[in-house]
Chain A
Amino acid sequence: MQKLLLLGDEAIAQGAIDSGLSGVYAYPGTPSTEIMEYIQVSKESKSLNIRAMWSANEKTAMESALGMSYAGKRALVCMKHVGLNVAADAFVNSAITGANGGLVVVAADDPSMHSSQNEQDSRFYAKFSFIPILEPTNQQEAYDMIRYGFDLSEKMRIPVMLRITTRLAHSRSGVIRKEVRHQNELKLPGNLRQFVLLPAIARKQYRELLAKQSELQKLSGESGFNYYQPGTDTKLGIVACGLAFNYLMENFTESPLPYPLLKIGQYPVPDDLVKKIYDDCDEILVMEDGYPIFEEQLKGILNLGKPIHGRLDGTLPRDGELTPNIVAQALGIEFQVGKEIPGFLKNRPPRLCDGCSHNDAFLALNEAILSYGKGRVFSDIGCYTLSALEPLESINSCVDMGASITMAIGAADAGLVPAVAAIGDSTFTHSGITGLLDAVNNNSPITILILDNSTTGMTGGQTSSAYGKVEDICRGVGVKEEHIRIIKPLRKNHEENILIMQEELAYQGVSVIIPRRECIQTLNRRMRQQAKIKSLEII
């Protein structure tokens, strides 16, 4: 079959297309964004009429995918790890409704927080929800696991999580394709009450979910994604989950691995495989590219059995992603590192692009709030979070999607008046609208900047659900017309923008200022495309 060079994300996307996918639902979030992007530009996907559009947030994405599953078709939903917090209500309950058409939830974790505010491990959510997990070690496995995941989901009538981390999501390698499979026909669930979680029904289905676990464990032992490999040196047994397997094997390219190995790529992990390595070895080292979830289970609180090593006893670092060197160190393998970084080198942190509209908006805000004093700007998640750093140093919070408006409400309630919220257009429709409704109902003395660059900027310029709707939404939610102010953040408008901000800061109620100017990156991209079309016309 055809061999493609694909990112882990793209391997998942291609795997889903080839496995009879009918729809993909997602909100952009590093490192998961490229899955949807790949399906959106895929010609095959278009010809197969696969539904591929961004959702307003991860919860709406998860629910739409569940609806497609209800209707009997295969659905994929993709998000970054913190997106699963947003989708959690739907995700946890989807285990109890169960699936009809195959439903795979991709959760892309970000150990070491390359582009995130935490490094939470999505496997916890799946375990908590009794949802099986697939954890690929490479791009080929990612491709293969998507098809297996749909099959598992349909066979066991349960959603399946595919958990990846940044390193796999954004690493490219060769992937061999399989034959393309047809989509499912529209088919209602056999029991039309399956998705009705009234307590009486939910109790029954929850018991069924619990009863499925032993079968899921058995299937984990048969799939080939988990296996036990004996070794010659039984002083130590190694349990390697997901990408940890690669880092382990990197240290044994010249000589074979002497230790018995339990490689884990599917959960729940079969008890008999765990018992086998535990019985065969004197001590166990657990390697996980994420939280020490399996390690904690194996160890228990008191670790009364054999010594269990890993992140909890300091054999591996407690946080951050694993690397070949970290694994070598844990195994006492000597390695030579290169020279140190010269002391005069300077860090080059990410920054707002030259010509970015956010820069002009924050320059104006910095001056407008001068008389009230610093420390009153609650912000959110997006490119504009970079305004926390030098030289702007404009904002004082970044917690979760949408938290700017609601934190400003609470701070104003406490007496910090005026409080300011600064949120992007896409983040506003993701999770800011309900907060704005609270502010209106509360008549909070807050000023909200909805920084409208007409795109989802930080993840590379995906369509924003807010596009062309921001002021209508504000009106609809109840913000007074005269306190919805649209400004153009440009240097030449600087003085005028300061005055408008000052007027609204002085108002003792909810005001919304919309600094609107297109993201410089999407603008440049659009101009280049237009120039290309023009040059083609001339030819």
Chain B
Amino acid sequence: MKKNIILAGVGGQGILSIAACIGLAAIEEGLFLKQAEVHGMSQRGGAVQSHLRLSSTEIASDLIPEGKADIIISIEPMESLRYLPMLSPDGLIITSINPFVNINNYPDLELILQEIWKQPKYFTLDADAMAKECGSVKAANMIILGAASPYLGLKPQSIENAIRTLFKNKGEEMIELNLKAKNAGLKYVTENS
């Protein structure tokens, strides 16, 4: 088993929580894992990405080689396209369609979506609306994690356990909200694939 995952978004959107969930699940399953993160200055509202690699055998590089990512998981549509050079020819994009506009020359959203829809494999989700329906727009990252969950090579139970672990200090209500969001994302891809 070997999975190369690019996580993309804007600083503060919660991609590190997605990374942490996948990481915890991978550790529970006894997999090898390397996850390169972006910290520091680039976090301030800038584009952030994380390279996440899971494998049943030892992993050499912390960075995914170009063209070798199996999946791009993004919380922001434009950011999902920034890592196309990393994606393998039959790779999958899972992204929110909700733009995070903090620059004044943000491209036309329609143009971005058209480009994503040109890729061989993709899921585009209205993660904000789905998260709101679950109880809080802040859980949009868990919607995206849920949508990606069948493609990570991980057991559903380990992902659920990971969410419980990650949010255990924030109370049962938060755990349930995040699980609900994860399940909503999962349901969407199951019904639309």
Contacts and interface: CB of A to CB of B under 8 A. Distances in A.
B39 A338 contact: no
Contact of A338 (B32, B37, B40, B87): B87
Interface residues of A, number: 50
A249 interface: yes
A338 B23 contact: no
Given A114-B38, A115-B41, A458-B40, A345 B67 contact: no
Interface in A1-60: 3, 5, 7, 30-31, 33-34
B129 interface: no
Contacts of A534: none
B138 interface: no
Contacts of A171: 34-37, 62
Interface of A: 3, 5, 7, 30-31, 33-34, 114-115, 167-168, 170-174, 243, 246-250, 253, 323-325, 328, 335-342, 344-353, 383, 386, 458-460
A328 B60 CA distance: 14
Contacts, number: 154
Contacts of A323: 61, 63, 65-66
25 contacts: A5-B23, A30-B41, A31-B39, A114-B42, A115-B40, A115-B41, A171-B34, A172-B35, A173-B33, A173-B34, A173-B62, A250-B61, A335-B66, A336-B88, A338-B67, A338-B69, A338-B84, A338-B86, A344-B108, A346-B105, A348-B45, A353-B45, A386-B44, A458-B44, A459-B40
Nearest to B84: A339
A174 B60 contact: no
B72 to A, nearest CB: 9
Given A5-B23, A5-B27, A340-B84, A349 B62 contact: no
The 4 closest A-B pairs by CB, nearest first: A30-B40, A115-B40, A350-B46, A250-B61
Contacts of B23: 5, 172
A61 B1 CA distance: 45
A5 B44 contact: no
B44 A348 contact: no
Contacts of B61: 246-247, 249-250, 323-324
Contacts of A249: 60-61
A340 B115 CA distance: 12
A5 B60 contact: no
Contacts of B63: 167, 247, 323-324
Nearest to B62: A171
Contacts of A338: 66-67, 69, 84-89, 91
A346 to B, nearest CB: 5
Nearest to B31: A174
Interface string B74-113: 0000110110111111010000000000110111100110
Given A170-B38, A345-B82, A328 B67 contact: no
A336 B86 CA distance: 10
A344 B65 CA distance: 24
Nearest to A30: B40
B11 interface: yes
Contacts of A328: 65
A33 B79 CA distance: 27
A353 B44 contact: yes
A30 B39 contact: yes
A341 B85 contact: yes
Given A5-B23, A247-B61, A346 B41 contact: no
A399 B55 CA distance: 43
Given A339-B87, A351-B44, A172 B69 contact: no
B27 A346 contact: no
B43 interface: yes
A346 B59 CA distance: 33
